[in-house]
Structure 1
Amino acid sequence: MTSLFNGASTLASSFRRLSLASSSSTLLAPAKASNALFQPRNVLQVRNKALMPRRVKHRKSATGRVAVALGGSIKGTVLEHGDYGLRANQATRLTAKHLEVCEATLKKALKPIRGCQIWLRLFPDIPICIKGNETRMGKGKGTFEYWGTRARMGKVILEIGGPNLRPEMAKTVLRLASAKLPCTTEFIDRNSSARLGYALVPHVPAKSPVTTRGALAAAQAADSAPVEAPAPTL
């Protein structure tokens, strides 16, 4: 009888130990939240296709003034990739939202035309910081608000091109995009002149720095060709 009682007490104690272990494991295990309200805040967000730099040297920088081209440079005032484009008529600051809206407008308008491409000649890489109204001076720079860039007078903002894109269609589409910008623009094509301030400068495309074998052979053949002597005059 005593051995039976000892066996029953041992069995009960083992069951008690097993129940305590299972309850502690359920308490220590994290509960899966079914509602998104209980999800952690510091979730790593995937970078979308928004126009923003991946990394900058300084977290904050001066907004700066838009430079005026006085040195005679016409860089960035003519097309380089596409067949048609928009060129700024005045110096202005553009935000990333301006460029994103312009790009979305062009993609929507050029969707029926096969083979069209869009090139943005500006990129918002300047962090714009703003302080609240009626704030005392000092206490550091304001908080970051958005990304922006500077567009000087005569700068090409965007370009479009494609094998099936006609000039009248390109002009209509670029007029829709220019309505989204805070400055006046002009329509340009491959035959448009470069711009230096308010003056138009004839543009001569630079020679390619790469010399092909065919061009080199043609130049050597032209140099080695015999020169005919002029006919004597009577």
Structure 2
Amino acid sequence: MKPANMSKLLGSFQALSLRTSAPLRLLRAPAQGQTQRLQNARAFSTTTPALGSWLEPNIDRKKKMAKGRPRVPTGGSVKGTTVIWGDFGIRMVDHDRRISAKHLKMAEDTIKTRLRGERFRLYKRKCCNVGVYASGNDMRMGKGKGSFDHWATRMAVSQVLFELRGKVHEQVVRDAFRLAGNKLPGQWEFVKKGDPPVVGITKLDGVTLEELKRPRRVVPTELAGTPAEPEVTANSSKTP
């Protein structure tokens, strides 16, 4: 390249500058204001959530689902049986079942009504992800599964449903969970953070998971005692 052309190229590069023009800033200003207004907008209850909620997921209702049953942790899993996020919780103790979204909403409203005015946060450990389909009473057999009826969740035994954390007295939380348990099907118990986990219906309180997996528990000889050996007499040793 000739020296004259090189000098012209260097002069062109030196004239360049990285800066935003004034018209572009003026065009971006209204867009930023509109975005800020959308972020501060109030979400009304009539607005359908994009990804659903914990009571009504964003799943196609036309896709039929099997009734199914809750999973039984046969391998010794304790997942979902302890309080993780909050300080108190409510746990099922009797039998696994399917709970509808109507019962879950009723229990949530009961807890919030009882703790009105208190500073707390409620955590939901379960969400509705199972569609329940039903047919009318006058429908004959063999006409299909039926149409969509409601959403539900599968609740296994010894699983925690609600957790609560906040500046609330323990007795007040106990009363709120007691009222919520009366609205839900099944039997429930009050648990606190730090309580032992549960495998099936057995609490691991002083019992290790290895001992629970054994077919038979080892009984200490001091407590059980050794059986006495039968005495052999002269008369019993003789043959008739």
TM-score grouping bracket, smaller chain normalisation: 0.5 to 0.7
Matching residue of 1:186: 189
Matching residue of 1:232: none
CA distance in 2 between counterparts of 1:50 and 1:193 reads 27
Matching residue of 1:47: 48
- Picking from 134, 149, 172, the partner of 2:153 is 149
Q: Are 1:88 and 2:77 an aligned pair?
A: no
TM-score (norm 2): 0.61
- Picking from 196, 200, 204, the partner of 1:197 is 200
- Picking from 164, 169, 172, the partner of 1:169 is 172
Change (3 A) 1:151 1:129: same
In structure 2, stretches of 5+ residues that fail to align are 1-45, 207-240
Offset, 1:56 = 4.7
Q: Counterpart of 1:79 in structure 2: which amino acid? A: V
Matching residue of 1:64: 68
Matching residue of 1:131: 135
CA distance in 1 between counterparts of 2:97 and 2:181 reads 13
Percent of aligned positions that are identical: 34
Deviations for 1:46-100, whole angstroms, at most 9, x for unmatched residues? 3277710023597220111233222210000001111001001121110001111
Change (3 A) 1:55 1:135: closer
Does the 8 Å CA contact 1:50/1:100 hold for their aligned counterparts?
A: no
Matching residue of 2:36: none
4+ runs deviating over 4 angstroms = none
CA distance in 1 between counterparts of 2:174 and 2:125 reads 18
Offset, 1:108 = 1.2
SS of the aligned residue for 2:68 comes to coil
In structure 1, stretches of 5+ residues that fail to align are 1-44, 204-234
Offset, 1:136 = 2.5
**Paired residue total:** 157
CA distance in 2 between counterparts of 1:195 and 1:58 reads 37
SS of the aligned residue for 1:159 comes to strand
- Picking from 95, 98, 101, the partner of 2:106 is 101
TM-score (norm 1): 0.62
Alpha-carbon RMSD across the aligned residues, in angstroms, is 2.1
Change (3 A) 1:55 1:172: same
